């Protein structure tokens, strides 16, 4: 039996959630659709392909304060950031949720990143499965599916008279407490997504073609604009620096990208990745080789954002195909 | 904006003319409002537009750049270059919502202590009337 | 346009690569979606058939010449792009004798989109007053000799708003900015080895990705292109959060025209307005 | 793969231990040796030669520096810091008594216990000599555990030689030699004027039962490596400590990686046998 929540039921549930917690949902911002805090259910966009930016910023904010300092009588007190706000993210796609769960790998690896852990603890993810994946999507090719509920707390799937509801985790069950659900025998359709990206065996292939001139040829076109990294749900590089404002010092971290010049330049001037080709290779090898070696899965969830957003059409799907072809030739 | 709600004015004064003019205002006991925070710079041409934008970013209500009269620059042509840069920057800032009036460029010589005091007084008055910057 | 232009570009590229005149031809090819163009780098005469030209060729390929310094390179340019050549030549960033210019008379490019061909001309093409390249060694298409005068309706519209509304507008844009610097990376005029935004000492712009810092970045980025921007509008196209950077650029373009009667990139030896001056101008300052 | 985020309060690994600068001594014109004491006794940590820690200049940032002291001597945490950027500039301006912060220790270390009974060749160039100092201290404090010891220290000029005041003490124990060289001498310099790889070839240490520990700029390492191989040293007999751009030290910011290895966590100490297996050139 499937449990169904009607459309008006969903709206009042979201409204109730908003009374006690921050609700983040897809919303129109200018001509974009972004995950953003909403003040009323009217702002929520229910029908969208994928947001322009990933929801990673609610776990790994663009700018985060690691700690602040308080100076008194030549004594420095360091105050770590505590996150109190309970947040619910509504409408997260399976690919994005999977990206976030994947980053538990590096971030919760000992010693755990306490800010990430706090954000994870305080946030409940209500997933919305994709009924019609966008042409750039390829989650099925990289080990997931448009209805993959493995990384969300609650999964909703749109059906004729509302949404089929699946409580995936205890956290999800808690959030659903008191919500009236109808029983129904509707069967959920399993939409398909692009399965043609030959990601299988890519880890071994990348090792073989690591020193290929392919990378520097590809980098000819790359303008190293960082867009791919900033829209990506699994890119997690950061920069750390102090900020002083009227005597208050905070140590902050912000998004950064391995594509920017000088990312690996050390103080003495040496830069192991000074050329464009090795920087571009770093990004794809992180996703297709290093991350799998360290944590298992490819760190690409197939959301297709970089595919659409790249100003010069550097397309990870095409790169995976090219590499497989190249690898086959190398033998 | 300072705490008492009076405008915060940042003044970049060229070392050779306008700073000496401000000095002259002081020694000849010409009163002018204390709202201005003075930065001494070698030349008005040295005032990188970055400095001005930075002032506004950090919350200044107004910026004054003062240098030698055209033709009198200690470095011959610094203020001519500055004049072009400031003219363009002022229009850009205005377009971005920082009214033209908030960014003022004046030529004040070392002997014009009285005029320095007058400029700062008028500028501060004008800014008080205009009120604090409402956004940003 | 279309096939005829494509064929002329391929033939020329083949000739240049075969006779060794250039090492690489930078042009366009069809992208992975089968619809929109993307930059192509052709090193081998056997590959010239990858080259194509149509109304999705939006990229300003002159940017790539900065990566090809000292190497003989041919580049396909549209009218707007060609002005970037003059900009870089006048700023001594590239050498004329190392660049072979394939200049395409551009009827305009359409809104860029992945996997979909728009019929809508880009904003910049409606403003465009330079359909014919100002520099070219090999011309593709019939030159257009008469261009209408520049107009700035969008800038004028912004100016009708109150200062507070203008400030709010740009504040909202800054809030959305994610400081990826794609605008800078796409711009042929942005080639500083150390960009002010990344300098640590002095730290002009803090690293927070927050409205104040983002506002500072966007303001100065635009200003540094004052009198240098050649209106290819690639910065706006590549922006992942759709900040209307063209408004800033065009405001400056208009002011530069009004104040200094100057248009960037029209010749390789006219000095940019901010590196020169006239003694007897007052520009509305300290009158 | 996915670990459950636990509800318990996790300590923030980015918050340093508060510390006080107790002394700041000029080693060369642009290198200072800082001694720091942790403010809270409960923060005291053990560390081994080769490990590093982040030192904070509050208001500017923090940077990773090799620990130049040894834990068992309990003389405070020492770091030799060359003035090259904003953080190191700020650190150089601190006066004794200033508040700072330390995060560490991070990384692996030189397995000196495994080297017992072997001949040790220690080669350092410029500021690269700093992480080798605790190696020397440890070996000389346990002199009888090791065979012949050759210390080769090079720098651009005599005034750039780090730890010059300690050379005499290092040369005192039996079977211990200290060789110095500079790229360019000055009026007071009577020693060698030669590049480290050339001096090494001239001294020609035997690879038999030997370990070579090298640290310095990439170019020096490259040529020293060639000379050591010519002398018959195997890749597993040559150990170095790598420098990578780091922000976290925790294996999270993915900046110091060489292939799938992190310099901060899997290193910084690697044998050349390990380095030759890296997928990426460094």
Q: Which CATH number fits domain D112-241: 3.40.50.300, 3.40.190.10, 3.40.50.80, 2.40.37.10?
A: 3.40.50.80
Threshold 0.90, pTM exceeds: yes
**Are C265 and C88 within 8 A, CB to CB?**
no
**Are A284 and A316 within 8 A, CB to CB?**
yes
CATH architecture assignment, domain D17-106: Beta Barrel (2.40)
Whether the per-residue pLDDT at C210 is higher than 70: the answer is yes
Whether the per-residue pLDDT at C237 is higher than 60: the answer is yes
Cβ <8 Å between C163 and B89: no
A126 CB-near residues (< 8 Å, 6+ apart): A88, A89, A90, A91, A92, A152, A153, A154, A155, A156, A172, A175
Q: How many domains does chain A have?
A: 2
Q: Is C180 on the interface with A (CB under 8 A)?
A: yes
Residue range C248-259: average pLDDT? 95
At residue B27, the 3 state secondary structure works out as helix
Residue range C218-230: average pLDDT? 96
Q: Is C201 on the interface with D (CB under 8 A)?
A: yes
pLDDT digits (tens, 9 = 90+) for A188-221: 877 888 889 999 999 999 999 999 999 999 999 9
Range of the domain at A18: 2-53+82-184
Q: Is C192 on the interface with B (CB under 8 A)?
A: no
Distance from C-alpha of D244 to C-alpha of A264, rounded to nearest angstrom: 7
Residue labelled with tokens 């940590």: D45
Residue D52: half-sphere exposure toward Cβ, Cα within 13 Å: 29
Distance from C-alpha of D181 to C-alpha of D154, rounded to nearest angstrom: 5
Residue range A228-256: average pLDDT? 92
Give a yes or no: residue A287 inside a domain. Answer: yes
Cβ <8 Å between C181 and A226: yes
Cβ <8 Å between C207 and A254: yes
Shortest distance between the Cα of A166 and any Cα of chain C, in A, equals 33
Is there a single domain that holds both residue A221 and residue A272? yes
**Are D55 and D91 within 8 A, CB to CB?**
yes
Q: Of the candidates D122, D138, D152, D155, which has an alpha carbon nearest to the alpha carbon of residue D31?
A: D155
CA angle D168, D173, D177 (to 5 degrees): 65
- Between C63 and A1, the more confident residue is C63
Q: What is the DSSP string of B77-109?
A: SHHHHHHHHHHHHHHHHHHTT--GGGEEEEE--
Whether the per-residue pLDDT at B5 is higher than 80: the answer is no
Residue D103: half-sphere exposure toward Cβ, Cα within 13 Å: 23
Which pLDDT score, from 0 to 100, does residue A53 have?
94
Q: Tell me the Cα Rg of chain A.
A: 22
**Are D263 and D246 within 8 A, CB to CB?**
yes
Whether the per-residue pLDDT at C83 is higher than 60: the answer is yes
Shortest distance between the Cα of A134 and any Cα of chain C, in A, equals 10
Q: Is C285 on the interface with D (CB under 8 A)?
A: no
Residue range B30-49: average pLDDT? 95
Residue C14, number of CB atoms within 10 A of its CB: 18
Query: Which H or E run includes A240?
Result: strand A238-245
CA angle D123, D125, D128 (to 5 degrees): 95
CA D14 to mean position of chain CA atoms = 22
Which pLDDT score, from 0 to 100, does residue D112 have?
93
Task: Pick out chain D residues at pLDDT < 70.
Answer: 1-9, 282
**Are D71 and D134 within 8 A, CB to CB?**
no
Distance from C-alpha of D64 to C-alpha of D62, rounded to nearest angstrom: 7
Q: Residue A245: pLDDT band by 50, 70, 90 thresholds?
A: confident
Give a yes or no: residue A123 inside a domain. Answer: yes
Residue labelled with tokens 């080895």: C193
Strand partners, B39: B12
A283 CB-near residues (< 8 Å, 6+ apart): A228, A229, A235, A258, A259
Q: What are the φ/ψ torsions at residue B64 (nearest 5 degrees)? A: -115, 130
Residue range A82-106: average pLDDT? 94
Which pLDDT score, from 0 to 100, does residue D2 have?
35
Buried b (16+ CB within 10 A) or exposed e, B30-67: bebbebbebeebebbbbbbbbbbbbbbbeebbbbbbbb
Cβ <8 Å between A220 and C209: no
Distance from C-alpha of A50 to C-alpha of A45, rounded to nearest angstrom: 11
A110 CB-near residues (< 8 Å, 6+ apart): none
> D with C: 3 or more CB pairs under 8 Å?
yes
Whether the per-residue pLDDT at B2 is higher than 90: the answer is no
Distance from C-alpha of A180 to C-alpha of A12, rounded to nearest angstrom: 11
Cβ <8 Å between C209 and A225: no
Chain D residue closest in CA terms to C201: D86
- The CATH H-level superfamily of B9-130 is Lumazine/riboflavin synthase (3.40.50.960)
Domain boundaries, chain D: 17-106, 112-241
**Could you say which DSSP state residue A22 is in?**
E
**Touching partners of D (3+ C-beta pairs < 8 Å):** A, C
Do you know the residue count of chain B? 136
Shortest distance between the Cα of D212 and any Cα of chain C, in A, equals 38
Q: What is the DSSP string of A83-150?
A: ----EEEEEE-HHHHHHHHHHHHHHHSSSP-HHHHHHHHHEEEEEE--SS--TT--GGGGT--TT--T
Q: What is the DSSP string of chain D?
A: -PPPPPSSPPP-TTSPEEEEEEEEEESSSSEEEEEEEESSGGG-----TT-EEEEEETTTEEEEEEB-S-GGGTS-EEEEEE--SHHHHHHHTPPTT-EEEEEEEES----GGGGTTSEEEEEEEGGGGGGGHHHHHHHHHTGGGS--EEEEEEESSGGG-TTGGGHHHHH-STTEEEEEEESS--TT--SEES-HHHHHHHH----TTEEEEEES-HHHHHHHHHHHHHTT--GGGEEEE-----S-SSS-S--SEETTEETTTT-SEEEHHHHTT-SS--
Residue A245, number of CB atoms within 10 A of its CB: 10
Q: What is the DSSP string of D65-112?
A: EEB-S-GGGTS-EEEEEE--SHHHHHHHTPPTT-EEEEEEEES----G
Shortest distance between the Cα of B127 and any Cα of chain C, in A, equals 14
Residue D222: half-sphere exposure toward Cβ, Cα within 13 Å: 5
CA quadruple D90, D92, D97, D100: dihedral sign: positive
Which two structure tokens, joined as six digits, stand for C35?
Answer: 């619809």
Residue range C174-183: average pLDDT? 95
Chain A residue closest in CA terms to C39: A221
Which pLDDT score, from 0 to 100, does residue C115 have?
81
Which pLDDT score, from 0 to 100, does residue A56 have?
95
Burial status of residue A224 (CB atoms within 10 A of its CB: 0-12, 13-18, 19 or more): buried
Q: Minimum mean pLDDT among A241-245, A267-271, C268-272: which range?
A: A267-271
Q: Is D277 on the interface with C (CB under 8 A)?
A: no
Query: Which H or E run includes A254?
Result: strand A248-255
Distance from C-alpha of C9 to C-alpha of C104, rounded to nearest angstrom: 9
At residue A252, the 3 state secondary structure works out as strand
- CA distances C113 to A307, A308, A312, Å, are 11, 8, 11
Which pLDDT score, from 0 to 100, does residue C201 have?
85
Residue range A46-53: average pLDDT? 91
Q: What are the φ/ψ torsions at residue A170 (nearest 5 degrees)? A: -60, -40
What does DSSP say about strands D17-26 and A248-255: parallel, antiparallel, or unpaired?
Answer: unpaired
Is there a single domain that holds both residue A20 and residue A87? yes
3-state helix, strand, coil in chain A (%, to 5): 35, 25, 40
Domain boundaries, chain B: 9-130
Residue range C110-121: average pLDDT? 86
Q: What are the φ/ψ torsions at residue B63 (nearest 5 degrees)? A: -130, 135
Residue D237: half-sphere exposure toward Cβ, Cα within 13 Å: 19
Query: Which H or E run includes C29?
Result: strand C24-30
At residue B58, the 3 state secondary structure works out as coil
**Are D53 and D238 within 8 A, CB to CB?**
no
| Span between the terminal Cα atoms of chain A, in Å | 50
Query: Which H or E run includes B62?
Result: strand B62-67
**Touching partners of B (3+ C-beta pairs < 8 Å):** C
CA quadruple C125, C129, C130, C131: dihedral sign: positive
CB contacts, 8 Å: B136 with chain C? 167, 170-171, 211-212, 215
CA A218 to mean position of chain CA atoms = 25
């Amino acid at each position: 039996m499937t449990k169904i929540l009607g459309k008006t039921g969903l709206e009042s549930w979201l409204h109730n959630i908003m009374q006690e917690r921050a609700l983040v949902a897809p919303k129109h911002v200018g001509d974009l659709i972004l995950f953003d805090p909403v003040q009323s259910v009217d702002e929520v966009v229910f029908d969208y392909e994928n947001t322009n930016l990933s929801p990673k910023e609610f776990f790994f904010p663009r700018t985060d304060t690691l700690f602040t300092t308080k100076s008194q009588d030549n004594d420095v007190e360091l105050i770590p950031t505590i996150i109190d706000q309970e947040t619910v993210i509504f409408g997260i796609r399976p690919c994005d949720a999977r990206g976030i769960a994947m980053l538990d790998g590096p971030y919760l690896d000992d010693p755990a990143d306490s800010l990430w852990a706090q954000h994870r603890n305080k946030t409940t993810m209500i997933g919305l499965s994709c009924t019609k994946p966008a042409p750039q999507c390829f989650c099925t090719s990289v080990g997931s599916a448009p209805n993959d509920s493995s990384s969300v707390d609650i999964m909703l799937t749109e059906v004729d008279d509302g949404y089929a509801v699946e409580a995936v985790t205890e956290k999800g069950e808690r959030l659903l407490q008191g919500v009236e659900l109808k029983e129904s025998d509707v069967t959920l359709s399993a939409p398909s997504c692009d399965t043609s990206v030959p990601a299988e065996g890519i880890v071994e292939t990348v090792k073989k073609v690591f020193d290929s001139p392919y990378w520097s040829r590809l980098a000819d076109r790359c303008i190293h604009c960082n867009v791919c990294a900033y829209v990506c749900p699994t890119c997690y590089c950061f920069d750390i620096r102090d900020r002083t404002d009227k005597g208050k010092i905070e140590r902050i971290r912000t998004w950064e990208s391995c594509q920017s010049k000088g990312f690996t330049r050390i103080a003495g001037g040496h830069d192991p990745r000074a050329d464009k080709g090795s920087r571009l290779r770093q990004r794809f090898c992180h996703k297709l080789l290093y991350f799998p070696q360290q944590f298992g899965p490819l760190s690409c969830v197939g959301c297709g954002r970089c595919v659409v957003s790249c100003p010069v059409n550097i397309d990870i799907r095409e790169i995976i195909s090219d590499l497989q072809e190249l690898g086959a030739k190398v033998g | 904006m300072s705490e008492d709600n009076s405008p915060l004015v940042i003044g970049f004064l060229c070392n050779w003319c306008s700073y000496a003019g401000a000095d002259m205002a002081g020694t000849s006991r010409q009163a002018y409002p204390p709202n201005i925070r003075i930065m001494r710079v070698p030349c008005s041409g040295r005032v990188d537009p970055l400095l001005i934008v930075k002032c506004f970013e950090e919350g200044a209500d107004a910026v004054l750049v003062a240098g030698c009269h055209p033709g009198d620059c200690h470095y011959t042509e610094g203020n001519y270059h500055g004049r072009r840069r400031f003219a363009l920057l002022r229009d850009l800032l205005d377009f971005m919502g920082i009214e033209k009036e908030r960014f003022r460029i004046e030529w004040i010589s070392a002997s014009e202590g009285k005029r320095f005091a007058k400029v700062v007084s008028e500028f501060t008055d004008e800014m008080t009337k205009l009120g604090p910057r409402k956004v940003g | 346009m279309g096939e005829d232009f494509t064929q002329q570009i391929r033939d020329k590229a083949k000739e240049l690569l075969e006779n060794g005149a250039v090492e690489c031809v930078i042009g366009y090819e069809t992208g992975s979606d089968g619809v929109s163009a993307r930059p192509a780098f052709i090193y081998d005469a056997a590959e010239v058939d990858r080259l194509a030209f149509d109304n999705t060729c939006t990229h300003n390929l002159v940017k790539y010449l900065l990566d090809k310094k000292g190497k003989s390179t041919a580049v396909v340019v549209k009218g707007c792009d060609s002005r970037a050549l003059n900009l870089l030549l006048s700023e001594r960033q590239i050498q004329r004798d190392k660049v072979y210019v394939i200049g395409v008379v551009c009827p305009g490019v359409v809104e860029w989109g992945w996997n979909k061909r728009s019929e809508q001309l880009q904003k910049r093409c409606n403003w465009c007053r330079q359909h014919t390249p100002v520099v070219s060694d090999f011309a593709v298409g019939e030159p257009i000799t008469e261009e209408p005068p520049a107009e700035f309706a969008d800038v004028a519209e912004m100016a009708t708003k109150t200062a507070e509304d203008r400030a709010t507008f740009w504040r909202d844009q800054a809030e959305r900015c994610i400081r990826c610097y794609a605008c800078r990376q796409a711009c042929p005029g942005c080639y500083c080895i150390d960009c002010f935004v990344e300098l640590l000492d002095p730290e002009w712009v803090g690293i927070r990705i927050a409205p104040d810092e983002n506002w500072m970045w966007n303001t100065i980025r635009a200003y540094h292109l004052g009198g240098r921007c050649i209106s290819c509008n690639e910065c706006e196209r590549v922006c992942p959060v759709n900040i209307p950077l063209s408004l800033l650029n065009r405001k400056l373009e208009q002011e530069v025209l009004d104040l200094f009667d100057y248009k960037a990139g029209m010749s390789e030896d006219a000095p940019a307005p901010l590196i020169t001056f006239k003694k007897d101008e007052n520009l509305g300052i300290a009158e | 793969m996915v670990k459950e985020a636990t509800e318990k309060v996790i300590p923030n690994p980015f918050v340093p231990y508060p510390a006080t600068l107790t002394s700041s001594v000029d080693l060369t014109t642009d290198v200072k040796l800082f001694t720091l004491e942790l403010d809270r006794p409960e923060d005291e940590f053990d560390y081994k030669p080769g490990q590093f820690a982040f030192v904070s200049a509050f208001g500017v940032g923090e940077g990773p520096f090799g620990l130049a002291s040894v834990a068992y001597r309990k003389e405070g945490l020492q770091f030799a810091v060359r003035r090259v950027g904003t953080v190191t500039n700020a650190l150089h301006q601190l006066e004794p008594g200033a508040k700072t912060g330390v995060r560490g220790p991070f990384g692996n270390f030189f397995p000196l216990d495994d080297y017992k009974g072997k001949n040790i060749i220690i080669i350092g160039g410029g500021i690269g000599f700093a992480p080798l100092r605790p190696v020397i201290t440890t070996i000389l404090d346990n002199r009888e555990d090791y065979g012949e010891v050759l210390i080769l220290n090079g720098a651009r000029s005599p005034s750039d030689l780090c730890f010059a005041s300690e050379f005499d003490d290092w040369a005192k124990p039996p079977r211990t030699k200290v060789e110095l060289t500079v790229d360019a001498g000055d009026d007071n310099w009577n020693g060698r004027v030669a590049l480290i790889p050339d001096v090494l070839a001239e001294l020609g240490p035997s690879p038999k039962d030997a370990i070579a520990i090298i640290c310095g700029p990439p170019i020096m390492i490259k040529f020293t490596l060639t000379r050591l191989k010519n002398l018959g040293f195997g890749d597993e007999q040559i150990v170095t400590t790598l420098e990578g751009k780091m922000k976290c030290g925790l294996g999270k910011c993915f900046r110091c990686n060489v292939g799938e290895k992190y310099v901060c966590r899997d290193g910084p100490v690697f044998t050349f046998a390990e380095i030759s297996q890296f997928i990426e050139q460094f």
